Amino acid sequence: MTESTKLSAKDFSTDQDVRWCPGCGDYSILKQMQTVLPELGIERKNLVFISGIGCSSRFPYYMNSYGMHSIHGRAPAIASGLKAANPDLSVWIITGDGDGLSIGGNQLIHALRRNFDVNILLFNNEIYGLTKGQYSPTSELGKTTKSSPLGSIDHPFNPLALALGAEATFVARSVDRDPLHLREVLKRANEHKGTSFVEIYQNCNVFNDGAFELWTDKKQKALSSIKLNHGEPLVFANGSLGLKLNGTKPELVKLEEGQDTSDLWIHDENDAVKANLLSRFFDKYLSEESFPRPFGILYSEERFTYEAAMAEQIENARKLKGDGDLDALIQGSNSWVVD
């Protein structure tokens, strides 16, 4: 039986001191990863974490598996080469909002469309932490930081809308403060055959504390967030509110206790149009008309993986031309003899 069935979370941690700031949301994500891994049935020898640069990218040093802490923004490309070379590996890309969406934006979007069977965990803290507090591509407009003392004038990215636009086959969101939910999403990401994109809201308690409070604070999160479950109606605020679709226009519905919810918007992970609508629920402030921020799996699609297609092409080339004959190739088709 596989080694991992005998393993516990501890087996996945290394002897290296974890050097994130005390109170950082990264600790929770690391813990959930290590906790969930024994359940995933992946042997340690086949497990690889590839990261770029930034606070989150220290992650591989703390995982007792194969790993590479690479250069800024390029983890998706390195992981693509790794997976292409050895499709048997379980490959996890660890990136952040600066690493993945700014300097490595190109690598991220192309990895998503190619659909290697890898997992991308984007730790979004809406700030540059390791360089000590500049605004990032996900920082909100007007954000005051060291490099934007008068407020940011950069319109932020919507990471999930970006991923869907980049033809991702699995798009999900979770948050560091909800361990159970995060573990569930990580499991699903692992199960998905193709590139899984998971945005994880992660609190930077030093440079951007409380950035996600709206969705983690006990008093507010019922109204501000909604958990997505495949095949179930979109209901939130402890069952008092729901969402329905009027054509492709989402509408808020007030629900009475015991009210029939069958005409509400039923979540369908495989519906790209609905996933795009959900990704656009991006209100930063709570009001009577605002839609809740969705957490869970917005979209999941079965599509061939790059490495499978690559293997198939090689296989077909071999069938068609036979295994390459090196000396015949060197000789070419136009040789001549000099006596």
Question: What are the tokens at 330?
Answer: 């060197």
Question: What are the tokens at 224?
Answer: 């501000």
Q: What is the DSSP string of 253-306?
A: EE--TT---TTS-B--TT-HHHHHHHHT---SS--TTPPPEEEEEEEE-----H
141, 286, 309, 314: which one binds another protein (CB under 8 A): 314
Judged by CB under 8 A, the chain residues 102 through 161 that form the site for another protein are 106-107, 110
2, 14, 240, 270: which one binds another protein (CB under 8 A): 14
Do 98 and 126 contact (CB within 8 A), yes or no?
no
Count CA atoms within 13 Å of residue 243 on its CB side. Answer: 29
- Residue 132 exposed, middle or buried by CB count within 10 Å (0-12, 13-18, 19+): exposed
Q: Is 177 in the site for another protein (CB under 8 A)?
A: no
Residue with tokens 């990471």: 159
**Closer of 107 and 203 to another protein (Cβ):** 107
CB of 227 to another protein, least distance (A): 35
DSSP H or E run through 81: helix 75-85
**Closer of 162 and 275 to another protein (Cβ):** 162
Chain centroid to CA 39: 19
User: Rounded to whole angstroms, what are the CA distances from 154 to 43, 157, 169, 279, 282?
Assistant: 43, 9, 28, 20, 16
Q: Which of 84, 97, 151, 161 is nearest to 126 (CA)?
A: 97
**Closer of 81 and 151 to another protein (Cβ):** 81
CB of 76 to another protein, least distance (A): 8
**Closer of 251 and 325 to another protein (Cβ):** 325
DSSP H or E run through 122: strand 119-124
Q: Which of 155, 132, 133 is nearest to 142 (CA)?
A: 155
**Closer of 58 and 177 to another protein (Cβ):** 58
**Closer of 94 and 204 to another protein (Cβ):** 94
CB of 35 to another protein, least distance (A): 19
CB of 327 to another protein, least distance (A): 5
Q: Is 317 in the site for another protein (CB under 8 A)?
A: yes
Judged by CB under 8 A, the chain residues 54 through 93 that form the site for another protein are 60-61, 63-72, 74, 77-86, 88-89
50, 164, 198, 241: which one binds another protein (CB under 8 A): 50
CA 267/CA 34 separation, integer angstroms? 30
**325: CB partners within 8 A, 6+ apart:** none
**Closer of 144 and 331 to another protein (Cβ):** 331
**Closer of 191 and 325 to another protein (Cβ):** 325
Q: Is 330 in the site for another protein (CB under 8 A)?
A: yes
Phi, psi of 208 (to 5 degrees): -155, 45
CB of 325 to another protein, least distance (A): 9
Question: What are the tokens at 30?
Answer: 């690391």
Q: One symbol per residue from 19 to 48: x for binding another protein (CB under 8 A), - otherwise; what is it?
A: ------------------------xxxxxx
Q: Which stretch binds another protein (CB under 8 A): 32-40, 53-61, 161-169, 292-300?
A: 53-61
- Binding footprint of another protein on the chain (CB under 8 A): 3, 14, 16, 43-48, 50, 53, 60-61, 63-72, 74, 77-86, 88-89, 106-107, 110, 310, 313-314, 317-318, 320-324, 326-327, 329-332, 334-339
